[in-house]
Amino acid sequence: MSEARQLPEDELFEVEINGRTCEAREGETVFEVAARQGVEIPVLCHDTRLEPAGACRVCLVEVEGQRRLQPGCAWKVSAGMKITTESDRIEKHRRVLYGLYLADHKLDDAGLPVETANANQLRMLAEKTPPLQLEAVEAPRRGRPEDENPYIKFDPELCILCARCTRYCDEIEAVNAITLAWRGSETTISTAGERGLLDTSCELCGGCIDTCPTGALIEKKAPQILPAHAEKVRSTCNFCGVGCQLDLHVVDGKVAKVTSPPVGETVNDGNLCVKGRFAYDFVHHEDRLTEPLIRREDGELHPASWEEAIEVAAKGLLGVKERHGSDAMGFVSSSRCTVEENYLMQKLSRTAFRTNNIHQCAAT
């Protein structure tokens, strides 16, 4: 059942998309109604987490009664509206628009936008609708090659100024570390005073990389292009108790990159923090512990089974209780653990060892 059909009948009205009657509600955009009906409208600047900007003009559609094509991502529907998403006029507009983008974009030998670590959405659109061939232009957009932050790289030659990255930084992260700077053909993605990201309010979450549709923003330490045999594995971030889902890109048995699942699929809605997205080096670090260790009689740590390690820990705690009493013990859990883990910790303290000396850092 569609989202609109779950609403009270008096909140629904009908619109027509490509000759087909569809139900809609007040405040919805053409893009939202069309998507619910399985009608694909191409977009570049649109991210469902962000307020519509209508900046890229890829999503223009025909609306009866409107002289000009209108942006489907931002145009609000109204009762009785008739919308066309595919026509000769729209096709001609897309060919010219893609041609303009490609005239100011880094291309491969086939004349298409280069493949990038992010799936270059402009390339996919140009493959579907052949662009008008235009003479290349050189826009003097600046990059930040001297930016020494360890994770994020910006290539101005791939930027289409859709502002998804700056809007994400503003609307989702609320840190305003990056912004559109300069004017005209020199407009670029920059920072206050053109400083490196480490000298700004940037939290290095990498959300700008995730939302970029062309790969102008990429991860420095990951492969530019993952090999075809790379495997994607869904997992849960282990850095805190929120439970963010992430996708591990595994190459030859090793994690080469971490990305967030598509928007709307999981609890984190496509977002990750700096740890979840970039702190995966520990997985294959040579100093990482891979099995429990127990200190034996010789004073050295030796490998042991989990059963043995848990038994030794339990005996040690019970020994403290027997020698000094329950109130000589204290338990501390972490807000980085899950609710269930914190519950078990206080259960262990109060029930197994009969002490209320249990604390959690979130309570301070």
CA 273 – CA 169 distance, rounded (Å): 12
CB 167 within 8 Å of CB 144: no
76 and 61 share one domain: yes
Confidence of residue 10 (pLDDT cuts 50, 70, 90): low
Say if 127 falls within a structural domain: no
> How is residue 126 written in tokens?
């140009």
CB 177 within 8 Å of CB 130: no
Say if 121 falls within a structural domain: no
Which structural domain, as residue segments, surrounds residue 10? 4-86
The sign of the torsion formed by the CA atoms of 29, 30, 32, 37 equals: positive
pLDDT tens digits for range 155-208: 999 999 999 999 999 999 999 999 999 999 899 999 999 999 999 999 999 999
User: What global pTM score does this model have?
Assistant: 0.86
Q: Dihedrals φ, ψ of 72, to 5°?
A: -65, -30
238 and 277 share one domain: yes
Q: Dihedrals φ, ψ of 358, to 5°?
A: -130, 130
282 and 310 share one domain: no
Into how many domains does the chain fold?
3
For 107, 165, 197, the CA distances from 124, given in Å and listed in that order, are 13, 20, 30
pLDDT tens digits for range 213-268: 999 999 999 988 899 899 999 999 988 878 899 999 999 999 999 999 999 999 99
- What would the mean pLDDT of 294-318 be, rounded to a whole number? 95
CA 364 – CA 359 distance, rounded (Å): 9
Say if 104 falls within a structural domain: no
78 and 13 share one domain: yes
Confidence of residue 363 (pLDDT cuts 50, 70, 90): confident
CA 165 – CA 149 distance, rounded (Å): 17
Say if 50 falls within a structural domain: yes
351 and 301 share one domain: yes
Residue showing tokens 């003097």: 140
Say if 189 falls within a structural domain: no
Instruction: Check whether 361 has a pLDDT greater than 60.
Output: yes
276 and 298 share one domain: no
279 and 320 share one domain: no
- What would the mean pLDDT of 285-302 be, rounded to a whole number? 93
pLDDT for res 31: 97
DSSP states along 15-52 = EEETTEEEEEETT-BHHHHHHHTT-----SS--TTS--
Residue at a domain's end among 245, 267, 288: 288
Residue at a domain's end among 86, 114, 133: 86
pLDDT for res 155: 94
Instruction: Check whether 3 has a pLDDT greater than 50.
Output: no
Residue at a domain's end among 288, 303, 319: 288
pLDDT tens digits for range 314-350: 999 999 999 999 999 999 998 888 889 999 999 999 9
12 and 54 share one domain: yes
278 and 327 share one domain: no
- What would the mean pLDDT of 355-363 be, rounded to a whole number? 89
> What CATH number is attached to the domain comprising 71?
3.10.20.740
- Average model confidence (pLDDT) for the chain? 93
Amino acid (1-letter code) at residue 18: N
Confidence of residue 4 (pLDDT cuts 50, 70, 90): very low
312 and 281 share one domain: no
Instruction: Check whether 2 has a pLDDT greater than 90.
Output: no
Say if 222 falls within a structural domain: no
Confidence of residue 117 (pLDDT cuts 50, 70, 90): confident
Q: To 10 degrees, what angle do helices 88-103 and 121-128 make?
A: 130
Say if 14 falls within a structural domain: yes
Q: Dihedrals φ, ψ of 113, to 5°?
A: -55, 135
271 and 299 share one domain: no
Residue 358: strand pairing partners: 331
277 and 297 share one domain: no
